[in-house]
Structure 1
Amino acid sequence: MKNDEIAAQSFNESISAKQAFLTGENIARIVKSAELVADSFKKGGKLLIAGNGGSAADAQHLAAEFVNRFEIERPPLPALALTTDSSNITSIGNDYSFDQIFSKQVRALGKSEDVFLAITTSGNSQNILKAVETAEAIGMKVVILTGKGGGLLAGKGDVFINVEAKKTARIQEVHITFCHVVCQLVDRMLFQKV
């Protein structure tokens, strides 16, 4: 296969993954996720986000969209990626285990009026699973964004969203689109007349 064919195939796979995701049920889940985040912000809560690898990058990307701005000028919104503090991550990982790098942060920072967004392409990351359990124990709302059937997180959380794609890259591309749409909807719910 030639390079131009590979490039076209990758774009077509990405388009197909997004089209397959675009069901009425998934749209309702996206809207529900945005409503949970908007309601949390209205109550003085915040959004905590975690993921590993590319999902960590998505967590940071989404937090930046809320804290800075997305498409409209508006006040900053309280969102925090739990993937950015290398001192916390390495001290927890060293003193306890990598499985606790997010759950200890959720326990320290999370309140019942907050939302926890777990991003994992497999649904099997132990550190995400433990963070979900901790968030639920605190009484936080939990949104799970996953793929490949959801793994150990299948069906958990207040909102469970699974991307049925075979390749991790395609799952991640749907995930970041989800993040952008949630930002758009939250901005609309909070700052534009609906």
Structure 2
Amino acid sequence: MNNIKEIIKKSIEVKEQILADESFLLKVQQAVEVVTEAFKNGNKVLFCGNGGSAADAQHLAAEFSGRFYKDRTALPADALHCNTSYLTAVANDYSYDVIYSRIIEGMGHKGDVLFGLSTSGNSANIVKAFETAKSKGMLTIGFTGATGGIMKESSDILLNVPSFDTPRIQESHIMLGHIICQFVEENLFP
């Protein structure tokens, strides 16, 4: 029982650090504003990640394209790894490092938003996707761990969770994504 309680306490501690960091909370608010504006302007919001972060990316995309709290119009959001034929073809024919940048090349437009989820902030395929997104005039929002990794430089908004523990970081990524979804939905569908 003590081990279970210790894990829960560690998760709470990370969230308490976020709660106490006013500059971090302002970046969350900025992300809400950027995503709201993108949807208002007819742009789309895209997500990418690897492993558990891919699952989180897909989860958050679905909150926008499906629904969150309200029955409302679907919003143009998608996770970039869901087309397995595309993913395996590009990984095989080119490189796994370009699976996201190549699809951004084809479907990204100025004013779109790209969320990249990487606990280390160093995932090569997400770094390349951010570089391509920026070259197309897209806005980038990085969900990372404490240091921000390489993504720190290419994120317009960096939400670097103050932890080095992958599960604790991912738990906070989902919390932050849910907060963004909630307030974007409230902004667009009062």
Q: Same fold (TM over 0.5)?
A: yes
Partner Cα separation in structure 2 for residue 174 and residue 155 of structure 1: 21
For structure 2, the residue ranges without an aligned partner over 5 or more in a row are: none
CA RMSD, 1 decimal: 0.9
Displacement of 1:86: 0.6
Is contact 1:59–1:83 with CA below 8 Å preserved after alignment? no
Aligned to 2:166: 168
Aligned to 1:44: 42
149-158 or 30-39: which moved more? 149-158
Aligned to 1:16: 13
- Percent of residue pairs bearing the same amino acid type: 43
Aligned to 1:146: 144
Question: Quick one: which amino acid aligns to residue 104 of structure 2?
Answer: V
Secondary structure of the 2:187 match is helix
Partner Cα separation in structure 2 for residue 111 and residue 180 of structure 1: 25
Is contact 1:17–1:165 with CA below 8 Å preserved after alignment? yes
Is contact 1:142–1:159 with CA below 8 Å preserved after alignment? yes
Displacement of 1:100: 0.2
Partner Cα separation in structure 2 for residue 5 and residue 73 of structure 1: 41
Matched positions, count = 189
Question: Quick one: which amino acid aligns to residue 187 of structure 2?
Answer: M
Secondary structure of the 2:68 match is coil
Aligned to 2:120: 122
Secondary structure of the 1:149 match is coil
For structure 1, the residue ranges without an aligned partner over 5 or more in a row are: none
| Structure 1 runs, 4 residues or longer, greater than 6 Å off | none
